Structures are given as C-alpha cells and as structure tokens.
Amino acid sequence: MRKFIVVLSGILLLFAMPANAADFNCAADIPKHEYTPQEQKLVDQYWSEVLIYLDAYLTVLEKPSGQCRDSAEATIQTFQPSTGKPQSRCILRYRDVELVAKHLKAVLDNPEGAKACFDPQKSQTKDGLYTPSVKVQQLSQVSEWLDRPLLTKFYKDLGGEIGDAGVLLNDNFIAITKKTETEPHWPTDISINGLKTLWSSVGWIPMYSKREDAVNKPFRGGYLYAEVMGPAGALRIDTIDGELVGAEIGLTVQLFNTAYPFHHHNPQEIYITLTKPACVDQNKYALMHWDNPALVQQRGKDGWNVFIDGSGDEWKKWFIDLNPTTGWLAYIERNAVHAFYSKEDCNQTIENSGLVTSWARTTARTANQDTDVCHAMQPGTKALAPWTPVVCHAKDWAR
C-alpha cells in the first residue's frame, strides 16, 4: 500500500509540473527590481517584443531552406578554390547552433521562468549602452523611460571623421533600419517596422569608436551593435537545466559606403541580412576558413598568421552579395576570416541604404570573445579595403 502511495504521488507530481519545465539560472548581475505598476507595464511591453524576436529567430534556424530538409542552409565560406564557388551547410548540424535552438525553446516554453533573468538595463551607463537619437527614443515609451544617453551627442562630442560618420548614422538611424525586407525568411517582421519598442529600447554599443585597430574612420563611427540576449544583453541567463547558455543574440547596423575590415574571433557567429540593398550588389561580404587554400598560412608562436591578399581583382572572387533573399544567412566558424563591404556607386542615399543584420554568437560563455581585426601588411596604410593585403593572427583555440 505504502509503495502504491509513493508511486501515485510521483505520478501526481509529474502531472503538476509543466511539460517542458526548465530551471533557469540568471546571471549574477541581474539587479533586484521594484517597479511601479506603470513601470511594470513598460517592462512587460519590452519583454513581449524580446520574446517575439527570439521566437522568430528560432523559426528561421529551423525552417528548411536550400538543400536542407529540417534546418536553414547557411553560407559557411564565400569562396572555395576547389570549386570556385561558395560553400554551405545546414546550420543546425553545428552542435553550438543546436544548443542555441534548444535553449531558445526552453525560454519560449517557459517565458515566466525566463523573465526572472530579464533586465531592461535602466541606468546602466557603466556598460556604455546608448539610444541612437531623440527620434529613436520617441518611438516608444519604454525607450523614453530608459532614458539612455544619446549616440548623436556621443559622436558630436567625439568629433572628427569618426564623429561625423557616427552623427550621420544615428541621425538617420530610423530611415536606415526601416529599409529592410523580412518576408522571405522571417515569420514576422522583426525589423524596426515591426518591433519599434525592441529597436528603440535595446542598448546600442558604439563598438569601434575607440578601436584604432579597425583603421577605417567612417566605418569606426558608422557601426553599432546591440545585444538582446547574452552576457551583456537584456536577457542574461547563465545556465538552463545546468547547461551553459552560449546564445548571444542581437542586431547590427553599418553605415553605407564603409568597409568593415577582415577580422576573426574564437566564438562562432551567425549573420542574417535584413537590409534591402539600393542595388543588387551594394552590400557584399567575404567569409573564408582560416585554412582556406586561397589564403597563405604560416605557423606562429601561439597560432597561425593568415595572409589575405585581395589585390588586383582577386578580392572580387571572394566577396558575394548580401541581401535578404539570397546569401541572407552566414555561419562563421571559429577563426574564420570575414569582412563586410558596402560599395559606393549604386545611387544609394543615406536614407535608402546601410547594412542591417540580425546578429548572434553561439558560444558566448565558453571561449575568448575578443574580435581581432587583421592588420595591413604595408605599415602606415590609411584605410583597409577588401583589396588591401592584410595579415590576421588566428590564435590557437583555448578550450
């Protein structure tokens, strides 16, 4: 009888638990919040748009495209010398992406549990989180309440070529981010057109404004990223059911007529292009594994020196079009070298162009997160174009 009661109570307990319950361990820096009912409404509004974005993101990863039957197909190299063509793979075949999908499912199945790890990051100036402009702030009551410092002021104060590019991007942030097309692959419009509160409330980071190694001044002022989920984002979950959460999911915006030089990093990365370009080949990118035979590798003390020489027309073989329909999804393996190039001469204006992406990293808590920009082979080079010969130092992986 006693055994029967134990079994029975076990069964009852099983029924009492939600089908896909998950145990969320929030990051230690989530503050204890006390909100007024009015503030709570704003927090809830922000959280609901975060959930819409994450839900759509998961759908994109899992929706079959290209040659893949149960996954999206991602470009993993834009050029292979053996075929002369790009290389692709079903993105969910990568274990790190599979884990991102699993953790997103846990969040979406248990939004109330995950919400404990949601922090709108009000008054966290130490993290350097900004809102692009007053006009962006006015898009949502949430953004007005968060009252972050403005990037238009940040770049005006910075001045010079970097400051000018930053003011241009942030003054035109709405026009640039509106020029998107999400229908081909997204189940909902996750751009600023559909998720005004998210885009205006998330903390934007002027990542390259202080980094001289990125060389190109219009690019350094004309680039922003924001983190929605991840170690520096609004949703900060350390573990789910004891498993480390590597997902870092956000957004990027790059000014037109700029070049993001070749760079690389240890964590893997995913880019999904949202911008509808002013002309078909306006935005281009190159992505090659560090050991791609088109490049020259030389063993160094603690890694590999990778020489990239795109001079002449060589670079044109490597760079392919980025747009929301074809070439829309890129998966960047560890230490793969990549560069983004938004070319001039296609009748673009500040309002009709730019490069806006949905951006993610997948192992944000396990690997060295530094982004290393490749250096010009020729000392004193003033700008890094896709055709400028550069050398990258790909460090051995720290496990």
Is the alpha carbon torsion for 199, 203, 206, 211 positive or negative? negative
**CA 302 to each of CA 92, 152, 334: distance values in angstroms, whole numbers, following the listed order:** 31, 41, 16
Q: Which residues on adjacent β-strands are paired with residue 224?
A: 253
In this structure, are residues 166 and 158 in contact, taking their beta carbons and an 8 Å threshold?
yes
The nearest distance, CB 362 to Zn ion, in angstroms, is 12
Tokens of 386: 């896709």
Which among 123-131, 171-179, 266-274, 299-307 is the span making contact with Zn ion, rule CB under 5 A? 266-274
Is 269 a residue that touches Zn ion (CB under 5 A)? Answer: yes
Alpha-carbon radius of gyration of the chain: 22
SS3 48: helix
The nearest distance, CB 263 to Zn ion, in angstroms, is 6
The nearest distance, CB 178 to Zn ion, in angstroms, is 25
The residue among 158 and 286 lying less far from Zn ion, judged by its C-beta, is 286
Is 227 a residue that touches Zn ion (CB under 5 A)? Answer: no
The residue among 269 and 321 lying less far from Zn ion, judged by its C-beta, is 269
The residue among 191 and 362 lying less far from Zn ion, judged by its C-beta, is 362
Tokens of 171: 């003054």
DSSP of 303-324, one letter per residue?
EEEEEE--TTTHHHHH-EE--S
The nearest distance, CB 337 to Zn ion, in angstroms, is 9
Which among 99-107, 181-189, 263-271, 275-283 is the span making contact with Zn ion, rule CB under 5 A? 263-271
Nearest-angstrom CA–CA distance, 110 and 22? 7
The nearest distance, CB 336 to Zn ion, in angstroms, is 8
Tokens of 62: 């899992």
In this structure, are residues 292 and 79 in contact, taking their beta carbons and an 8 Å threshold?
yes
Nearest-angstrom CA–CA distance, 137 and 129? 13
The nearest distance, CB 332 to Zn ion, in angstroms, is 6
The nearest distance, CB 345 to Zn ion, in angstroms, is 26
The residue among 57 and 359 lying less far from Zn ion, judged by its C-beta, is 359
The nearest distance, CB 338 to Zn ion, in angstroms, is 6
The residue among 155 and 260 lying less far from Zn ion, judged by its C-beta, is 260
The residue among 26 and 226 lying less far from Zn ion, judged by its C-beta, is 226
Which among 92-100, 229-237, 267-275, 346-354 is the span making contact with Zn ion, rule CB under 5 A? 267-275
The residue among 171 and 269 lying less far from Zn ion, judged by its C-beta, is 269
Nearest-angstrom CA–CA distance, 133 and 131? 6
Nearest-angstrom CA–CA distance, 344 and 281? 10
Is 248 a residue that touches Zn ion (CB under 5 A)? Answer: no
β-strands 243-244, 204-205 pairing = unpaired
Which among 9-17, 170-178, 253-261, 268-276 is the span making contact with Zn ion, rule CB under 5 A? 268-276
The residue among 227 and 269 lying less far from Zn ion, judged by its C-beta, is 269
The residue among 75 and 348 lying less far from Zn ion, judged by its C-beta, is 75
Residue type, 65: S
The nearest distance, CB 134 to Zn ion, in angstroms, is 31
Least Cα distance to 224 among 194, 190, 258 occurs for: 258
Least Cα distance to 46 among 161, 111, 191, 143 occurs for: 143
Q: Site size for Zn ion, by CB under 5 A?
A: 1
Q: Which residues on adjacent β-strands are paired with residue 360?
A: 249, 270
Which among 97-105, 158-166, 269-277, 307-315 is the span making contact with Zn ion, rule CB under 5 A? 269-277
- Which residue in the shown chain puts its C-beta closest to Zn ion? 269
Under the rule (CB under 5 A), what is the footprint of Zn ion? Answer: 269
